[in-house]
Structure 1
Amino acid sequence: MMTNRPHASPVRPLVLLDVDGVLNPEVRPGPGWQPHRAQSPIGTFDVILNPGHGRLLLEFADRAGADLVWATSWEHYANHEIAPRIGLPELPVIEVNAHTGAAGIHPKTPPVAEYVAGRPFVWFDDDLDPADTTFLERHGSVGHFRIIHVGPHHGLDEHHLRQAAAWLASLPSSHENRE
C-alpha cells in the first residue's frame, strides 16, 4: 500500500537587514546619500540613507529567491522610517529589543536564532563578532548562515551583495522544510 506523503516545499533563504552602520552609515559615503530625521524606539535621530538601496536589495532578494527581514533595534520603526525612504515595502520584523543577551553575545543574536527556525540566512550587520557566530553555530534552530560584516563607516555596498550572492549560490539546491 502506498501512502501519500506531502512533498517538502523548498525553503526560501532569509536576508536579514540591520539599519545603523549598514543602511545608515556613520558618515555620508557619497552624493547619492540623503540626510533625514527619523523616529526610532528610543528617540529621533539623524540618519543618512541611500534611496537606491531598496531597489538593490529587492533585486538581490528576487535573484536569490530570498525573503528580506529586518533584524535591527529599529524593529517596526524600520518599516515606517527607513523602508519608504530607500524604496522597500513593509518587511517582516525580528523583535530584538526585549532580549538582553548573554555575556559577549549581541542582544539581537538570540531572537534571530529563534526566528530563522532552520532557514538558511545571510545577515548584513556591522556589530557582530565571533561570539555571535559561535552562538548561532551551536543553536539548535539555526541551519546554514553567513554573517556579512558591513563596515559602519561606509555602509552596505555592491561588494557585500556579491559576497551574499556567492554564499547563497553555494547552498545545496534544495532546502527542505524540517517539518
Structure 2
Amino acid sequence: MAALDVDGVLNPDGDGINERVRALRMSAYERHQYDGPGPDGEPVSGYVLVNPDHGMWLRGLLAARVDVVWATSWGEVANSFLGPLLNLPRLPVVGVGPYSGLVWGRSAKRGPVGTYVAGRPLLWLDDQLGGKDLAWAEQRTAAGVPTLLIRIDPAFGLTPDDQACAEEWLARLPAWGVA
C-alpha cells in the first residue's frame, strides 16, 4: 500500500518551483486555482501546483496493483479536486484529520495511517515525518511487515529520485514473500 500526502508532496512550496525542478529534469508544475473547503471545513482560496508527471506515475502504481490511498488533511477534496487534474480514479482516504504536523518527533498522521494499513506493507510518502516514525518503520520491517517512509522535500515535491526509491522498494516485496 502507498499512503500519499498532498501538501509538500504533490503540491510543493510554490515560489520558484519550476526553476528548482528544471535541474531535476522534471516537467513544469501547473498552477490551478482552488476555491472550496479547507481541512477544517472553512472556505479557502488559493492556488495548487500540480505536476502531470505525478499522475502518470501514480496511475502506473495502480496498474501494477499497488493500493494507493490519500493520507492527507485534504480528505475527500483530494479526490474531487486533485484526482481529475492527475487523471486518477477515486482513491480511498485515510482519515487523518485537519492537522498533520509533527508532535514530539512523530507524525500526527501515524496513528490513523498505522491503523488503516494494519499488517500490510506500507510505502508512505510525506514531507512531515519525524525520527520516531522512522524507528516505527524499522520495527515494522523487522517484524516482517515491510515499511518504507520517504520524506519528501517540500521545496521540490515528489521527485524522480523519490519515485525511483519507491519503485525499487516495491520491486523487492516479492522477495519478502509479499505479492
- Number of equivalences: 161
Partner of 1:9: none
Partner of 1:85: 85
Q: Following the alignment from structure 1 to structure 2, what is the Cα–Cα distance between the partners of residues 115 and 60?
A: 19
TM-score by length of 2: 0.78
> How is 1:127-142 mapped onto 2 (pairs within 5 angstroms)?
127-137=128-138
Q: Following the alignment from structure 1 to structure 2, what is the Cα–Cα distance between the partners of residues 126 and 81?
A: 20
Q: For 1:124, what is the secondary structure of its paired residue?
A: strand
Deviations 1:31-53 (CA, angstroms, capped at 9, x unpaired): 63111222332342321111232
**Which residues of structure 2 form unaligned runs of 5+?**
19-26
Q: Which structure has the greater CA radius of gyration?
A: 1
CA contact (8 A) 2:39 2:97 kept: no
Deviations 1:99-151 (CA, angstroms, capped at 9, x unpaired): 88864322111100000011101111111021122345557x99221011111
Partner of 2:21: none
Partner of 1:97: 97
Counterpart amino acid of residue 175 in structure 1: V
Partner of 2:71: 71
Give the helix-richer structure, 1 or 2.
2
Partner of 1:175: 178
Q: For 1:46, what is the secondary structure of its paired residue?
A: strand
TM-score by length of 1: 0.78
Q: Following the alignment from structure 2 to structure 1, what is the Cα–Cα distance between the partners of residues 144 and 171?
A: 19
CA RMSD, 1 decimal: 2.5
Is 1:41 paired with 2:39? Answer: yes
- Percentage of matched positions with identical amino acids: 37
Counterpart amino acid of residue 135 in structure 2: T
Partner of 1:157: 159
Partner of 1:147: 149
Q: Deviation of residue 68 (structure 1)? A: 0.8
**Which residues of structure 1 form unaligned runs of 5+?**
1-13
